[in-house]
Amino acid sequence: MNAKTDITAYRQRLNQVMRPVADPIIVDDVYTQREYDTLLDIVRHRGPWPTILAHHFKTMEEVIATTSGQIQEGVTLDDITRPNFRGYFASSSVCYYPELYETFYSRKLIELVKNYWQAEYVRPDRYLFNMSGPMGEGLNPHVDATTFRGITHENTPVWLQNVMVKSGLFGDYIVKMGQVIVWWYRGAIGGSFTYWPDGPLGMPKMLKAPFWNRGVVVQNELMFHRGDASGPIEQRNPPGVKFRSVLASDPSDRDRWLLKTDDDIIAHYRTDDMRFLVHWSAEVFIDMAECKKVMDHTDDLTHERVFDTLIRDMRAQGVEFAIPTDPLNDAQFIRALIKTYDIMPEILEVPAA
């Protein structure tokens, strides 16, 4: 078997791994008006909020490991930052805001994910939002952080979780997850959700905007997806947007939002100009045996075991790299991982009807 055949076999195998358990289910009228108002009021009053990139990454290597492709010389985190901001309502099954208790532990959301998976048990895990003004495309097609037994968002950076899933070496340890993702966006220009339910080698599909209280039930950590550019082209990615920029509500006008870099106001938006996304995520257990296996931690991975497995596999492939003393932070080692375990959708645009 030659190298080309090996690469083709690897990509075909990964294409099967990186597919959701089922196609996304489109749902409407997910939240009541009262729930929506409460969610948006928290965003208004509890900011300012950092960019999505600042939430999850420290280096360009980490960003590329989470998406795909190679690092262009001289490109910085500031260069790729978009006016897309994130905050958390809940994490690790803990709801941060009492006014959201009933929503976070919602029977409706739980049943949507149980039915999607045909599972017996669900545990709400994370609850977050994205709020963006007019912007060019954010991250390239990517997957959300994959959770493994012992390797979770509480103890592991996003980039490593996604290198692990792209390697195809840890499939037996993946924790099943389900998400209910809902958008509010009245804009008529862009703002769609593009996704690859048949794997990165398959054809993409698109949920088109405008949408209001419309969303999907999905397994996003095993499905490449992308938030598409939105808003008038001349208003996208205003000059001065940086990795450290924040979004804040204008205290003098509840429907005005300020994009700030340090003390400078870079841009301002009305609520109707914004694309608001709310992302509810839960762990899924098909039956009690699976629930106990995850909860009892009887067969968990450790960072040491993960890196030993990756290093052993890279050596078997003949990859040249220096053994890292600090693999979570060694930029050269992360680059080697990126180059070794890389797969990205081949067809980037939905064909015209």
- pLDDT above 80 for 6: no
Residues of the chain with pLDDT > 90, as a percent, come to 78
Cβ neighbours for 241, distance < 8 A, ≥ 6 positions apart? 81, 82, 83, 259, 261, 266, 267
- pLDDT above 80 for 273: yes
Q: Where are the domains of the chain?
A: 3-340
Cβ neighbours for 244, distance < 8 A, ≥ 6 positions apart? 50, 51, 54, 261, 262
Q: What confidence tens digit (pLDDT) does each residue in 103-123 have? A: 999 999 999 999 999 999 999
Predicted pLDDT at 2: 45
User: 3-340 is classed in which CATH architecture?
Assistant: Sandwich (2.60)
Q: Whole-angstrom Cα distance, residue 4 to residue 7?
A: 5
Which pTM value belongs to this model?
A: 0.92
Cβ neighbours for 351, distance < 8 A, ≥ 6 positions apart? 203
Q: What confidence tens digit (pLDDT) does each residue in 37-83 have? A: 999 999 999 999 999 999 888 888 777 776 665 556 788 999 989 99
- pLDDT above 50 for 1: no
What mean pLDDT do residues 272-289 have? 96
- pLDDT above 60 for 260: yes
Predicted pLDDT at 343: 85
Q: What confidence tens digit (pLDDT) does each residue in 166-213 have? A: 899 999 999 999 999 999 999 889 999 999 999 999 999 999 999 999
Say which residue the tokens 């509480």 belong to: 154
Q: What confidence tens digit (pLDDT) does each residue in 243-258 have? A: 999 999 999 999 999 9
Q: How far is CA 112 from the centre of its chain?
A: 20
Could you tell me the pLDDT band of residue 138, with boundaries at 50, 70 and 90? low
Q: Whole-angstrom Cα distance, residue 339 to residue 64?
A: 10
Q: How far is CA 319 from the centre of its chain?
A: 29
Which among 139, 160, 141, 144 has a CA at the least distance from the CA of 80?
Answer: 139
pLDDT averaged over the chain?
Answer: 92
HSE at residue 274, side-chain half, CA atoms within 13 A, is: 26
- pLDDT above 80 for 30: yes
What mean pLDDT do residues 140-144 have? 88
Q: Whole-angstrom Cα distance, residue 313 to residue 315?
A: 5
Cβ neighbours for 336, distance < 8 A, ≥ 6 positions apart? 314, 319, 320, 321
What mean pLDDT do residues 260-279 have? 95
Q: Whole-angstrom Cα distance, residue 180 to residue 110?
A: 9
Report yes or no: 309 and 340 within 8 Å, Cβ to Cβ.
no
Predicted pLDDT at 8: 81
Say which residue the tokens 């050596």 belong to: 315
Cis status of the peptide bond prior to 50, with omega within 30 of 0: no
